[in-house]
A and B are shown apart, each in its own frame.
Chain A
Amino acid sequence: MGNEEYYELYGEYVSLKELGVATLISSVAAMVFFLAPQVASLIGVQTSGLSITLGAIGATIGFVISTFIIKVKRVVSEV
């Protein structure tokens, strides 16, 4: 880890590019899951009322993926 340039956003150091990537991953995952019941109903399967729940699950999966591909910008020293 060198002397890279970050931005302080809401008390944390972030890279704008990586924030964009994380947002994109979580948003796409959320919307795919959110819209899944609608797609299912097109082919005749009824799963109404679960859109928000599925969307939240999708967003969380996106979050988990992001934690693996994005570097943490904190160095913790134990004193």
Chain B
Amino acid sequence: MDPVSLLLVVALSVLSTLLYIFIGILPGTDETATMAPIALTLLLAGMDPMLVLVWFIASIAAFKMADSIPVALAGIPGGVMAVPQVPDALLAKEQGLADTVLRKGIASSVVGQFVAVVVSLAFSYYLMPAGDWLRATDVVLGVKVARWFWLVLVGTVVLAVTSRSKFVALISIPAVALVFQGLRAVYGKSVSISFFLGITIGPMIFELLSILHKELRNSYARRGPKEVRLLKVGKISLNPLKILTKEELAHSTIWSAVTSVLATVMSPVGLTTLIGDLLRESKRDKVRGAVLAYTVRDAIKNATYIGGTLIPLLVIGVPTGPMAAGPAAPFFNKYEHLGMTARDFIVTHYDYLTITAMVLLSSAIAFLVAYPLLVKYSRAITLAVFRRVPAEALYGLFIAIVLMLSYYDAKIAGIFGTLVISLVSGALWRLGVSLGVMFMTLVAAPTLVSLLMALPV
């Protein structure tokens, strides 16, 4: 790489880190809705996909480190991934351990990201030959089926049976697939950007439309304003290794390695919840269990995002898990100016060593910027964000981005198509189906619907 590109890599990593610290701390910022549109914008603007990957990796580092800060300080999650950390943080807070969990979370984020980067890159390197096998097709019921489809299908079913409402989740898979394929047939093209944004904002749109209903409205009414109690924090050491105990470091390392690979087909939120719960239950002392669960969850958040992005991107070439099908989806899209998907561009134009160096470099830069900043100023930034940014402005921004991308996909019809999807997604979410099931169904839909139509009965 020439010096100019290298400078660009550094600049993009720093910029992305600063932006996503802000987004990470901001409450109510959904990962897919904030990471995917920006990556997509950069790709559509003609930026080299490798540079967009650099941007994306730095944004994972910063976002997943920052989103637990409002959890530790005020019990308010900064993103969907930080929601499982709330109960443990509240318990820690009662015991006066808010700043303990705050710094442990920040430190274990660093561990999670680097362990996952190393494990995912090594795993991908050895698994790359399997990519060709996975992309090959077999004929089933007269339908050409790529082998990775079965991986996606199994992942979707596993995710469905771990949803709060297993039955609804399972029967929703073919039904939602039909909605996607129906709309694609009407649009006359294989749209996916506005679909996954529709899924993402589904819960919010569903709540918003419920508020418009005269009777349903009452359960949402609140006497304002909302009171937020922000805790004071003491001085925190700049050395991350001093912050974690040996046990926390060991658990963070092992679980980051395991979950980064599992995230190829499994849901990051699901894994974060599952492993954290297991660790909490393993401790007899409730407070120690909560602190351990909170800490390791912070590592798993980074690890699953990294693994869930890199392994499908480098090995398989199709989004096989909820992370790749959600926040990282723009990398699997085809772009006219590239003549291929952004992922294919990266693996055909750059060798493995360059990709490895870029991913490591952007993670390192992200932490060099984010770590000292968050250790020193996390409270000040949180205070400023809570006092300055109204939720309405943020929600308005989301809706505007979704409207624009829906219009881009299929003009005015696209806007109503997205509304259909967000209503379905919101209703299913209400009924206890995790959004990951719908992201995965979106990937499986073309083959699934073809198979469904080819069934002899």
Q: Do A and B come from one complex?
A: yes
Binding site for B on A (CB under 8 A): 1, 3-16, 18-19, 21-27, 29-31, 34, 49-53, 55-56, 59-60, 62-63, 66-67, 70-79
The closest CB in chain A to the CB of B74 belongs to A76
User: Known pairs A10-B204, A22-B390. 14 more at Cβ < 8 A?
Assistant: A5-B224, A6-B225, A8-B222, A9-B211, A13-B222, A14-B392, A14-B395, A21-B396, A22-B397, A23-B399, A34-B407, A72-B390, A76-B387, A77-B230
Chain B residues with CB under 8 A of A78:
229-230, 232, 383
The closest CB in chain A to the CB of B231 belongs to A79
Contact A59 B228 (CB under 8 A): no
Query: Does B373 have its Cβ within 8 Å of any Cβ on chain A?
Result: no
The closest CB in chain B to the CB of A78 belongs to B230
Q: Which of A4, A19, A27, A77 contacts B392 (CB 8 A)?
A: A19
Contact A12 B27 (CB under 8 A): yes
The closest CB in chain B to the CB of A24 belongs to B396
Contact A66 B396 (CB under 8 A): yes
Chain B residues with CB under 8 A of A75:
225-228
Contact B397 A63 (CB under 8 A): yes
Question: Which 8 A-B pairs have CB atoms at the shortest separation, nearest pair first?
Answer: A22-B396, A66-B393, A26-B400, A12-B391, A63-B397, A23-B396, A6-B224, A59-B400
The answer for the CA separation of A5 and B40 in the assembled complex, in Å, is 38
**Stretch of B41-49, B153-161, B434-442 lying at the A interface:** B41-49
Contact A51 B230 (CB under 8 A): no
Contact A49 B222 (CB under 8 A): no
- Take A30-B401, A55-B404, A70-B393 as given contacts and tell me if A13 and B204 are in contact as well, using a CB distance cutoff of 8 Å: no
The closest CB in chain B to the CB of A16 belongs to B211
Chain B residues with CB under 8 A of A56:
37-38, 41, 401, 404
Total A-B residue contacts, Cβ distance less than 8 Å: 187
Contact B396 A52 (CB under 8 A): no
Query: Does B208 have its Cβ within 8 Å of any Cβ on chain A?
Result: yes
Q: Mark B204-229, 1 if CB is under 8 A from A, else 0.
A: 10011001000001001111111111
The closest CB in chain B to the CB of A77 belongs to B229
Contact B46 A49 (CB under 8 A): yes
CB distance from B48 to the nearest CB of A (A): 15
Contact A72 B399 (CB under 8 A): no
The answer for the CA separation of A34 and B204 in the assembled complex, in Å, is 24
Contact A73 B391 (CB under 8 A): yes
Q: Which of B204, B395, B404 contacts A30 (CB 8 A)?
A: B404
CB distance from B52 to the nearest CB of A (A): 12
The answer for the CA separation of A5 and B223 in the assembled complex, in Å, is 5
The answer for the CA separation of A59 and B229 in the assembled complex, in Å, is 31
Contact B404 A31 (CB under 8 A): yes
Chain A residues with CB under 8 A of B229:
76-79
Contact B390 A9 (CB under 8 A): no
Contact A70 B41 (CB under 8 A): no
Contact A27 B408 (CB under 8 A): no
Contact B223 A3 (CB under 8 A): yes
Chain A residues with CB under 8 A of B211:
7, 9, 16
The closest CB in chain B to the CB of A4 belongs to B224
- Take A4-B224, A27-B399 as given contacts and tell me if A11 and B392 are in contact as well, using a CB distance cutoff of 8 Å: no
Contact B390 A66 (CB under 8 A): yes
Chain A residues with CB under 8 A of B231:
79
Contact B408 A34 (CB under 8 A): yes
Query: Does B242 have its Cβ within 8 Å of any Cβ on chain A?
Result: no
The closest CB in chain B to the CB of A9 belongs to B207
Chain B residues with CB under 8 A of A11:
27-28, 76-77
The answer for the CA separation of A19 and B405 in the assembled complex, in Å, is 20
CB distance from A55 to the nearest CB of B (A): 4
Q: Mark B369-406, 1 if CB is under 8 A from A, else 0.
A: 00000000000000100111111111111011101110
Chain B residues with CB under 8 A of A12:
27-28, 226, 391
Query: Does B337 have its Cβ within 8 Å of any Cβ on chain A?
Result: yes
Query: Does B203 have its Cβ within 8 Å of any Cβ on chain A?
Result: yes
Contact B45 A59 (CB under 8 A): no
Contact B204 A9 (CB under 8 A): yes
Contact B391 A9 (CB under 8 A): yes
Contact A5 B221 (CB under 8 A): yes
Chain B residues with CB under 8 A of A60:
397
Chain B residues with CB under 8 A of A1:
224-225
Contact B208 A59 (CB under 8 A): no
Contact A7 B221 (CB under 8 A): yes
Q: Mark B402-426, 1 if CB is under 8 A from A, else 0.
A: 0111011000000000000000000
The answer for the CA separation of A76 and B232 in the assembled complex, in Å, is 12
The answer for the CA separation of A15 and B392 in the assembled complex, in Å, is 8
CB distance from A8 to the nearest CB of B (A): 5
- Take A13-B224, A60-B397 as given contacts and tell me if A52 and B44 are in contact as well, using a CB distance cutoff of 8 Å: yes
